[in-house]
Each structure stands twice: as C-alpha cells, then as structure tokens.
Amino acid sequence: MPDTRTLGLTLTSCGLVGVIATAYLGFSWAPLVDPEAWNAPEAYRILFWHVPFAWASFLAFCLLFIGAVSWYRKRTEWGWRLVVTGSELGLLFGLGVVISGPIWGSAEWGVPWDWGDLRLNTYGLLTAVALFLVLSRRTQPDGDDTRDTLAAVGLFGFALVPITALATTWYQNRHPGIVLVESEDTGLDPQIRMVLMLGFVSFLVLFVGLVTLSGTIQALEEELEGRQRMLDEGAIA
Amino acid sequence: MGQDALVAATAIEVNRGSRRVLQGASMELGEGEVVAVLGENGSGKTTLIEACAGILPLRSGRVTWRTESGAERVVRDSDGRRTPPPSMGLTLQKDGMCGEETVKERLATALSVAGRDPCGGDISSLLDAWGLEHRSDDRVSQLSGGLRRRLSLLCGLAPAALSVDSRAVLLDEPSEGLDDGAKALLRGWLRGLASNGHGVLVATHDKDVIACADRLISIRGGVLDETTGESTGEPVVLPNACPPVEPSQIGSLIRWAFRMEMRNPIDTVGRATPAVVAMLLAYALIGNLDMGLHGSGLLAALVLAPAFITAVTSPALVRRLAEADCGRWWNAVVGPMARPANSIAAASLVLPIPLTYLSWFVLAGSFDSDASSEVLRWLWLPALSMLDLAVAAAALHLLVADLRRASAATASLLLVALVWPFLELTDALATIMNEGMTFGLGMGDPITTCLIASITSALIWLVAIFIPDA
Amino acid sequence: MTGMVEAVVAYTLLSSLLATYVVRQIVLLNGLTSKLGESSSRGPEADSD
C-alpha cells in the first residue's frame, strides 16, 4: 500500500507542477492571437486548460464505461473500482469542461451554450451522470444491488451518447449555430502548440496520479471496512 | 429438477449488501409438501424466498419453475436471464401492499394476477374465513398490523387454494404479527394446501409453523442443510377451486395503478401544481411584453413548459411501489415486464394536452388571432408527443427508484437528457406558429420534428428500461 | 485585453476545482491511514483472506 500511495502522491504533485507551469506559460509566454480574427483574443488562453481538461475527462469517462461494462457483465471488483474512479474524475474534469467552455464561448462568440454542439452536450450529459453516480455512491449503502443500479446508470449515460449525436444533428439542422472549434491543430503558433503539449502531458501525469490515489483510497476503505466488521463481530460475541 | 418439483434452486449464490448470503444453495419444493426455511436473523431465509420468486439477481446458479403445462422454465439465472414465473402465491415479509387499496380489491388483484376468476361470493367467504369480511371496503392503511398481516397472508395463500393444479406458495415470516387464532388458521391452511397437492415454502422461526412442515431447510453460513419435519397439524377444508382464466399481470398492474390514483390523486395534483405555478409566473413576467418582438421560439417554449414540468415530475407510483415492498411484490408476480409496464402506468398521460391548451390561452394573448386559430387546431400534436417524453421520464425515475435510499438520489440529473425532445417540440410549435401547419415529412416540418422528439424519447425510454434488467 | 477577465475567471474556477479535489483526496488518504492504524491497535490483527 505505501508504494501506490507514494506513487500516487508523486505523480499528482508532478502533474500539478506541470499544470501550473502550463497556466503560467499560457499567460506569460504564449503569444497573443490576431485581434482582427478573434473577438476576445485574450480569452483564447482558456484553451490551455480547457482542452486538456476535455481529454482528461474523456479518459475518465472511458474508465467509467469500461468499469460499468465489467461490473455489469461479470461483477468484477476491479470493474467497480473503475466505476468509482471514472465517475469521480469524470465529474472533476467534466465540470471543468462545462465551466470553461461556456465562459470562452460567451467571450468569443457571445454564445455560452450551443444545443447543437455534440461534444459540449455530450460532456454536459456525462458530467450530469457522473455527478449522479458520485452523489449516489455517498448516500446509498454499498452492495451488489446498489452497484448493479449505478452501473446500469453509468451505461445509460453512455447509451445516451449516440442518442445525443442524433438529437444534436437534428437540432443543428434547423439551428445552424456557431461550431465551437476547440482543438484546431492546423495553423497554431508553435509556441501555443508547445504550451498545449505541456498541458496535455501535465494533465496526463496528473490524471494517472489521481487514478492511483483513488485506487489506493478505495483499497484502504475496503481494508478499514473489513477491520470494522471484525470489530463488530467481536463486540457482539 | 425432479418430476414433482414445482420450484428448484440450483447452486445459487446471492449477495445482499456486501455480504455473500447464499452460496452453492440447492433446494426443491415439491407438490404436496410444506417446506420450512430456518435460520438466525440475517442467515438468508428471506433471500432464499425472494431468490425463488425471481426478485433477486443471482451471482451464479439458476431458479427453475414448473409451468402449468408441466414444462421447466428458467425464471432467473446468473447470465441475467429473467422470465416471469408461473402463477404463484407470494407473501413478503413487509406485506407488499399499498395502503390505498381496499381489502377486497387487494384480494381480487392477487387472484387476478394469478389467473383466478372468483365470483364475489368466493371473495367474501375467503375474507370471512380470515376474519376480514367486516373490513372488506376499508383501506389497507386503516387496518391494524395484525389484520394487515392476515390480508397479506390470505393474498399469498388464496391463489393456490382456489386452484385445481398444483401451485407453489412462497411465504416470508407469515406468522409475524398474527394472534394465536390466526396462527392456528395459518397452520390449518398450510396442511390443507399440502393435502391438495400444492407446495409451500415458508421462511419462519415460529416453532408451531416449523412443526407442521414436512421438510426443514436450515441455513447456516450460506449453506443449506435439509432434515425431515414433523408434519403435524390438521388440514382445514379449503374453498372450492374456481375456474382458471388467463393470468393478467400487466393488465392488473395498470388497473391497480389507475385505481390508486383515482382514489388519491396525489400524482395529478403533484404534477399540475408546479406546472400551473410556472404558467402563472410566465404570464406575470411576460404580461406587458409584445411577444411578436421576441420570436415565436420563446413563446413556444413557455407554452410547452408546463406540460414538460408535469412530464418530468417524480411519479406518485414510485412512492406507492416503495410502500411496504409493494413494488417488490409486483416485480415478482409480473416479472421482467414490470418495469416497462410501470413506466407507462407512472407517466403523466392525462395532463400534458389540456395543460398545453390552457397554457396557450393564458400566454398567447397578443398572438395574431388568425394564426392563433391555426395553432389551436394543431397544438395537440406537440402535446401528444410530450406523452412519449413523459413515459421516458417515468422510466428514468423508476431507474433511480431501484436504489435502496432512493429518496436520497437526485433523479433530476438523469432527466437532463430530455431537454432535446423538449427543444424539438418547441421547434415544432414555433414552426406551426410562424408558418402554419404543413404536412410534409421533410426536416423542419412539424410532423417530422415531433416524430424526432418522440423517437428520441423512445430511445431514452428503451435504454432506461432494458439496461437495468438485461 | 479583451477577454482577459474571462480567462482569469475561468482559470480561477478551474484551479479551485482541482485544488479542492486534490486536497480532499489527500485528507481522505491520511484519515484512512490513521484510522487503520487505530483499528489495528484496538482489535486483533486482521487475517489476510
């Protein structure tokens, strides 16, 4: 246990350092974009965290999906741990996306939310599902039946992704609004690209660190639960 | 599964909470016998009964029932397969009854679900035998605990008692809360059912009930151990069998839900109130605005919002099913179709259309009168599509209701998905308002847009219904 | 400087989110470690399964 704890803390710390460095460089070193082409040229700097947040949340939702499928089919313990980790990190990074995206959208295009934008709406939906899972895990007694229901909700969230794709396509057909282009690589200044890459790497390291920490915490919680049950039995006897 | 076996559990493993309660448990319930399940508190008696009823998911093994035609039917297995069991009698530990039913209704429902068609006299004599006739028109909630238990027990025993064919009866702690007279009656009925060829599986720690069992199954450490019982007790003469009819599980469920709502319209009031408040609020806020300046989209959204609110409000049926394990009883007797049936029974199907029209009258005062009459002629179309959205919302509420502390769960987070069908319907209404009704099927035409909203709602419904029980 | 306010607000919110979560995890981790230490001194040693 000390190994994963130390590893988790180390990776998280390194990740945080990189993340802070990304923000610093984003403001102080990355050049300004063309004020003629952008409505809010300074606001573009949100991109240096917004895009890595989006990728981190994508990874988290992948963990959630894999875990939900694994628990749903075979009730594997590792599957459940992935559900817990995926939902917590999905909530953290998903919230970051749906907070920073509308702020940027509002500043640049005057549109905080576009019901026809597939990615934004998918992230919003999955974040809502992740919030449900995190809150429910805290309020419901742990057990197979609770886990079955929560895994089903997790899968429900993912089944909504293609439904959302259809719905947003149909909606956009009649409301061709602004498409929020968040990660256009072509034509990016090399300095901007470098800061973005630093952001990607830092968030990846941070993500792995947080996954490790989450796994460690879950293992400790299980061990504590086991010890407390033994103490309960001793108290009754 | 043995030839005479009515129910068989084969190597089942069941977890409750984080504990493994049953492991490698195998047992059979045969014709003409009473089998008592014994064990300490928390040993797994209720778990065995509920697993045999098909309510609980299995980690491994399967539960098989013998159908009316003599074939074997796997009611539940560890691959997630689930089929409705044949007609059975079932009494759960917490009664499984909604407080708003009357005594007579409850018994009639239990018999209808099991495919029995008694005449009024049969029901009265059954109630009379159990000292409930004088309360036949009273609601279950008005009964004392002891009388409620008698009724719950009678509803579990009667389907078999009125059946010519051998039936399985599952009883969980039947004698709890009964007085001595009722306990004696219970023992007589148990022996009576066994002598008529039915099989009774009863979880109990009552010594007298145990004494009248033919076999005893003890649960210790999740493992079953069988011994012979004393088979004491005189059988009572049971009522004559009545003609069998096609069991009407889903129909009974929907009729039951409708009856409960007619008797106590908390669902209707609970949905209509916030919707009307929203309507009046919108009226107060847009009172002096010229809606023509703001685009028809805003007015369309405000007109449809009250119906949307009624559609997404938590259904009263969810609370009714949560009462005294009522939902578990219906889940057991109806089988895997309980969820889809509940989602339709729970949905707001009556309010959306009239509320939408009321909303139009209240909010569309400044709208052009010629266009308004056109809108009035076709307003029912998006409102009708709102019914699909209502059914999808009910399915989502039922999904959350599976959680043990459902009251502590935020169902509204899952309802976010219904925004898109609502936006589609708003678009459809806005198109009708701007351009009048058209009958084309191109993108942007009202009929197509309403269809898209309905399809989106239907897909959400499908996912919410089938994933949990797959 | 158009958009600078929005950028600062966004970064402030995201930083708060990250910081709150990381601090929470570390506090939880330390809390569990000390509770495990307490429970092993209170009762018999846990057998490994």
- Quote the ipTM score: 0.86
pLDDT tens for each residue of chain C, 49 residues long: 688 898 999 999 999 999 999 999 999 999 999 988 877 776 554 443 3
Q: How far is CA B242 from the centre of its chain?
A: 26
The Cα–Cα gap between B450 and C18 comes to 42
B405/A141 touch (CB, cutoff 8 Å), yes or no: yes
C-alpha distance from A142 to closest chain B C-alpha (Å): 6
Residue of A nearest to B80 (CA): A73
- Of A3, A9, A231, residue with least CA distance to C38: A231
> Measured between beta carbons, which residues in chain A are less than 8 angstroms from residue B404?
140-141, 143, 145-146
Residue B106 has pLDDT above 90, yes or no: yes
Chain A hits for B408, CB-CB cut-off 8 Å, are 136, 139-140
pLDDT of B125 above 60: yes
* Residues in Cβ contact with A11 at an 8 Å cutoff, skipping those fewer than 6 apart: A205, A206, A208, A209, A212
For C20, nearest residue in chain A (alpha carbons): A92
Nearest Cα of chain B lies from the Cα of A185 at a distance, in angstroms, of 31
Contact A149 B468 (CB under 8 A): yes
At residue A188, the pLDDT reads: 72
Residue B372's pLDDT is 83
Question: Is the CB of B306 inside 8 Å of chain A's CB atoms?
Answer: no
- What are φ and ψ of residue B354, in 5° steps? -60, -35
Strands B60-66, B5-16: pairing kind = antiparallel
Sequence-distant (6+) residues with CB within 8 A of B360 are: B303, B372, B375, B376, B379
Is B444 an 8 Å CB contact of chain A? yes
How big is chain A by its Cα radius of gyration, in Å? Answer: 21
Contact C3 A50 (CB under 8 A): no
Mean pLDDT across chain B, nearest whole number? 90
Q: For C17, which of A9, A38, A95 is closest by C-beta distance?
A: A95
Q: Which residue has the higher pLDDT, B139 or A175?
A: B139
| Cβ atoms of residues B102 and B136 within 8 Å | yes
A window 75-94, beta carbon within 8 A of C: 88, 92
| pLDDT tens string B32-42 | 999 999 998 88
Going by C-beta distance under 8 Å and a sequence separation of 6 or more, which residues neighbour residue B161? Answer: B126, B189, B192, B193, B196, B198, B238, B239
- High-pLDDT (> 70) share of chain A, %: 91
Reduce the secondary structure of A204-221 to three states and give it as a string: HHHHHHHHHHHHHHHHHH
* Residue A233 burial by Cβ neighbours in a 10 Å radius (0-12, 13-18, 19+): exposed
A95 reaches C (C-beta below 8 A): yes
Q: Is A119 on the interface with C (CB under 8 A)?
A: no
A130 Cβ under 8 Å from any chain C Cβ: no
Choose the closest CB to C43 out of A95, A100, A227.
Answer: A227
Domains of chain B, earliest start first: 5-228 (3.40.50.300), 249-469 (no CATH)
Query: What H or E segment, with its residue span, contains residue B171?
Result: strand B168-172
Nearest residue in chain A measured CA to CA from C35 = A224
At residue A2 the predicted structure's pLDDT band, cuts being 50, 70 and 90, is low
Radius of gyration of chain C (CA): 20
Q: Contact C2/A95, CB-based, under 8 Å?
A: no
User: Positive or negative CA dihedral for B355, B356, B361, B363?
Assistant: positive
Angle, CA of C44, C48 and C49, to the nearest 5°: 125
Q: How far apart are CA B55 and CA B466, in angstroms?
A: 16
Please tell me the predicted confidence (pLDDT) of residue A229. 76
Residue of A nearest to C49 (CA): A226
Predicted confidence (pLDDT) per residue in B129-167, tens digit: 999 999 999 999 888 899 999 999 999 999 999 998 899
Do A and B make contact, counting contact as 3+ CB pairs within 8 angstroms? yes
